Chain A
């Protein structure tokens, strides 16, 4: 484990070679309350990076800032070397960020099929065919049987799989997942884990994951630990010590 003061960036060595997402000195406020403090972090292509931290430390806030739902007061976010802070959320999605938010945010009164088709909106190059590729159903077979159900009528676990599938429809370069196992039974958690791992290995996209389940966290290549809105520790997940786990995971 590597301890840092929060202004020093600790990043995986691959990042220098193949940076997908780079965040430097990010400061985000909700009104006057200072939520994110001098956050430095990065995600490399083909790698899975996990962000851990107790409830309310600002993990979702960080992901929302990456997506453009929140405006940072200070700092820089680059995607594939280009600054993206001036882009709107829809432009960022089209630049290659797939977002699976906390709480899933399935559009309730659209069918599962329509929800999936919306995922295509992020895909660059129009004139694409409005159909769902078979790979999606290979990853999440449940979805195939319920294309005509209303999104709002699915169970939590099914919605979570739909949310990930929807993000993948846009063929993102970076997949951002906010607590994809929250409130989901263990067997489905394993399925989601396996699917995410497979996506990283087969497509070479980068994944930024916020997670509380230790087993899932260990699937990642690298971790960042957050406390009071700052990154306070980072390292390869193989070196995750019990001490870190106890301090930063709410399990």
Chain B
């Protein structure tokens, strides 16, 4: 009994992290039919945002409640970044899923490297470059014959602004030395400490207590799911998103601004990644690679859950969470005590990585029977 409860709660808390991170991915996947490979990195950035907010709130009266500000900040930062990503890259690749996959993967690598090397010097250089390049483009685009000279302008301004910004940031580095060249985060992980009231745990049974952080994440997940459900089903923009998800062309013909819907959906999906990242930061140390360890699991949730159904993602995330926990903690081991070989087999899978192999295998088998996921769409599917 204890064992069962423990694995249920353990699994649920793993599942809720999975669900939280898969939620944004599932919405974007439903709309565009594409997996955003940078979703994990958006989570990672959400986690780093939490770290920054935590430090900003140190020694202030609100220190204990920094986590709420961090949640909001993480949502805003990653939503804006998602917006930039959609407007800057992904919108040019609609209808080309393979290229989108590669492009977002590239973005994920860039984001990882960005977090490793970001410093004041780096930021200053980047800002100067953007100011020069986009400023020049903005000014010159007023010229009447801009379309014709566009190629030339880009060819000329790109190296010039790059050279100027590199020189300035180099000079900055020379003058102020470590004060500006020291990376903010570096390649090592950083640690977010949960506020005092989240330390400790709720004793469920004698030997097992549910850590408050886990409980907090479960509650956070429930709130997010309800919020998204409300947004999709009760608001005008939610209706537009559902319409575009189901029939993009017809939605456009009805007058729905599909480009705005895409941008908004992507921003919300990314913002949810930020919230998931904030939650993840409570569970362990955060490094630039944090996102990578989540993208595959969240992808599995989306695939198993089926496209376009929130319920699918919820059930899939809980199921995958519970199965992972049960397998890796060898909760069923004692039940098969009668057979030595079975017991050996169970013990063999009772490590984190072997549990993952097991879950993978189960998913592959599952998809043989239900190729469209738990809750397949009736009728016509999304034509993205």
Residues of A whose CB lies within 8 Å of any CB of B are 67-69, 88-90, 93-94, 99, 101, 105, 107-110, 114, 117-119, 121-123, 130, 152, 166, 170
Question: In the complex, A194 Cα to B243 Cα: how many Å?
Answer: 30
Of B97-105, B249-257, B283-291, B341-349, the one touching chain A: B249-257
> A146 to chain B: closest CB distance in Å?
17
B247 in contact (CB, < 8 A):
yes
Task: Please give me the residue from chain A that is nearest to B381 by CB atom.
Answer: A108
Q: Are B255 and A90 in contact (CB under 8 A)?
A: yes
Residue of B nearest to A100 (CB): B253
> Which of B253, B254, B377 is the one whose CB lies under 8 Å from A69?
B253
- B254 pairs with A170, CB closer than 8 A: yes
Q: Provide the bound-state CA to CA distance between A152 and B377, in Å.
A: 12
Interface members, chain B 229-250 (any A CB < 8 Å): 236, 239-240, 242-243, 246-247, 249-250
CB contact list, B253-278 vs A, under 8 A: 253-259
Min CB gap A9→B, angstroms: 27
How far is it, in angstroms, between the C-alpha of A68 and the C-alpha of B256 when the chains are bound? 14
Please state if B242 and A110 are interface contacts (CB–CB under 8 Å): yes
In the bound assembly, the distance between CA atoms of A170 and B253 in angstroms comes to 11
Is B206 engaged at the interface, CB distance under 8 Å to the other chain? no
State whether the Cβ of B59 lies closer than 8 Å to any Cβ in chain A.
no
Question: Is the Cβ of A119 less than 8 Å from the Cβ of B379?
Answer: no
By size class, the interface of chain B is 20 to 34
A96 to B25, CA, bound (A): 36
Additional pairs, 5, CB under 8 Å, beyond known A69-B252, A99-B253: A67-B253, A110-B243, A117-B239, A123-B255, A152-B378
Interface flag for B380 (CB, 8 Å) = yes
Distance in angstroms between the alpha carbons of A136 and B256 in the assembled complex? 21
Report Cα–Cα, A58/B149, bound state, in Å.
39
Give the residues in chain B near A166, CB-CB below 8 Å: 254
* Chain B window 156-196, contacts with chain A (Cβ cutoff 8 Å), 1 for yes, 0 for no: 00000000000000000000000000000000000000000
B379 touches A90 (CB 8 A): no
Compute how far the CA of A123 lies from the CA of B255 in the bound complex, rounded to whole angstroms.
8
A69 to B253, CA, bound (A): 8
If the complex has contacts A90-B255, A93-B255, A122-B255, are A110 and B250 also in contact, measured as CB distance less than 8 A? no
| Cα–Cα, bound, A93→B250 (Å) | 11
Contact A108 B253 (CB under 8 A): no
Q: Roughly how many angstroms separate A117 CA and B378 CA in the complex, as a whole number? A: 23
Residues in B whose Cβ lies below 8 Å from that of A99: 253-254
Q: Is the CB of B379 within 8 A of A108?
A: yes
- Which 9 A/B pairs are nearest by Cβ-Cβ distance? A122-B255, A93-B255, A121-B255, A89-B252, A105-B250, A99-B253, A90-B252, A108-B379, A94-B255
| A130 and B256 within 8 A (CB) | no
Residue ID in chain A nearest B253 by CB atoms = A99
Jot down 9 A-B pairs with beta carbons below 8 A, ordered by A: A68-B252, A90-B252, A93-B254, A108-B246, A108-B378, A118-B256, A121-B255, A122-B255, A130-B236
| Distance A174 CA – B326 CA, assembled complex (angstroms) | 62
In the assembly, what is the distance between CA of A105 and CA of B378, in Å?
Answer: 15
User: What's the Cα separation between A89 and B243 when bound, in Å?
Assistant: 15
Q: CB within 8 A of A121: which of B254, B259, B377, B378?
A: B254
Whether the Cβ atoms of B247 and A90 lie closer than 8 Å is no
List chain A residues, Cβ under 8 A from B242: 107, 109-110
Partner of B252, one of A93, A108, A110, A152: A93
Chain A residues with CB below 8 A from B236, complex form: 130
Shortest CB distance A157–B (Å): 18
Residues of B within 8 Å of A130, CB to CB, are: 236
How many Å from the CB of B42 to the closest CB on chain A? 28
Residue from A67, A88, A90, A114 within 8 A of B239 (CB atoms): A114
- B250 contact from A68, A101, A117, A123, Cβ within 8 A: A101
**Neighbouring B residues of A107 by C-beta, 8 Å:** 242-243, 246-247, 250-251
Known: A107-B246, A110-B246, A121-B240. A93 touches B253 (CB 8 A): yes
Q: How far is the CB of B170 from chain A (nearest CB, A)?
A: 45
CB nearest neighbor in B for A117: B239
CB-CB nearest in chain B for A97:
B253
Query: Within the complex, what minimum Cβ distance (angstroms) separates B236 from chain A?
Result: 7
